[in-house]
Copies of this chain bind each other. A is one copy, B any other.
Amino acid sequence: MSGMNRRRITSKELAKLAGVSSATVSRAFSPDSRIGSATRDRILAVAREHGYQPNAIARSLNNQRSRLVALVVNAIGNPCEAEEQQLLVHRLQARQLLPIILCCADHADRLQLMRLASTYQVDHVVVFSDMVSMQDAVDIFHTTKPIIVSFEPLENENVSSIRIDGSAAADEIIDKIVRDGKKRFAYLAGTNSSWIDKLRRKWFADALAKRGLAFEAQAFGDYSYDSGFKEAVLLLHRDKVDAIICGNDVMAIGARDAARRVLGRNTPDDIAIVGQDGIAMAAWDCNDLTTLSLDHTAFIDAVVELIERHDAEIEGPHNITLTCAARWGSTA
């Protein structure tokens, strides 16, 4: 029972101990299969006694079903993703699915990593990262239809997607800021290579255009607090803007700190600052950020819904669209 046994017992050995064949042992562990209930009870008792559990690797080989799910993410530490990752991991585990995290900074490494995971015959792939192209995902996981989180409709039969639309909420937010009298807008992007950021930027740019305005300045960070802080100093000092739309909440907090500390300017009177994602931290009293927020629960519901459809082997491309909402704080 307790202590360290070097080797794990196999079904054949257990069979001998219980005086049955290994097939019967297997049946004892399959919920609905033809087996006498007395035999099953006896086998389960012996199994418990010897700490036997069926080997999932061998079962997967036979089943063609590993119950492993690959999650491709940009980062684990990044709070905006972490909340969603947490939710998803719980939902997966409730279905007896085990998540494998693929997380990599470098692009070549990331593809290599995805190839490695694909050799483990994962049952599902969820791509959160905008750093990997849809085509790469399809090519690498050729037998597993990937679920891709996207910001525009994907026109590929071989992927399912969740599209996120924040244009209406962006319009609301811009409306409020313009009515407050702000005129000079800047966009502080996460990275310059991300197409997600380009689309998010477009939501706000369109809202500005509707009112005869445009971004007067633009900067690139890396989604971190430090980059938000640093770039905001430049934007405020050099470009003299009075409103900054940030690529995520963490950079927005950095920008707010920079405005207050370095230039002595406060939100929302001197300057308006807007985040994106709607992470829990944004609502903390010390931050109280105005942000373009996504309902994380609805988002993960959508991912699980797509996984279920794949499991049920429903054919055809599946696309779900979610819309963002404005969450108001004291920074805009």
* Residues of chain A at the chain B interface (Cβ within 8 Å): 1-8, 51, 53-58, 60-61, 66, 68, 75-77, 79, 82-83, 85-86, 89-90, 93, 96, 98-105, 109, 113, 115-121, 135, 138-139, 142-143, 145, 157-158, 225, 229, 253-254, 256-258, 261, 280-281, 284-287
Q: Which of B89, B102, B115 contacts A53 (CB 8 A)?
A: B115
Q: Which residues of B contact A76 (CB under 8 A)?
A: 76, 82, 85-86, 89
Q: Is the CB–CB distance between A57 and B53 below 8 Å?
A: no
Q: Which of B4, B55, B99, B139 contacts A101 (CB 8 A)?
A: B99
Q: Which residues of B contact A53 (CB under 8 A)?
A: 115, 118-119
> How many Å lie between the Cα of A115 and that of B48 in the bound state?
12
Q: Which of B51, B82, B83, B253 contacts A286 (CB 8 A)?
A: B253
Q: Which of B57, B96, B103, B254 contacts A89 (CB 8 A)?
A: B103
Q: Is the CB–CB distance between B121 and A284 below 8 Å?
A: no
Q: Is the CB–CB distance between A57 and B142 below 8 Å?
A: no
> How many Å lie between the Cα of A103 and that of B83 in the bound state?
13
Given pairs A7-B143, A56-B120, A98-B116, 7 additional interface contacts (CB within 8 A)? A3-B142, A8-B142, A57-B60, A77-B79, A79-B79, A98-B117, A258-B285
Q: Which of B55, B56, B61, B225 contacts A284 (CB 8 A)?
A: B225
> How many Å lie between the Cα of A138 and that of B2 in the bound state?
7
* 15 A-B contact pairs sorted by A residue (CB < 8 Å): A4-B157, A6-B143, A55-B61, A68-B100, A76-B76, A76-B82, A76-B89, A77-B83, A77-B280, A79-B79, A89-B101, A93-B102, A93-B103, A100-B100, A286-B286
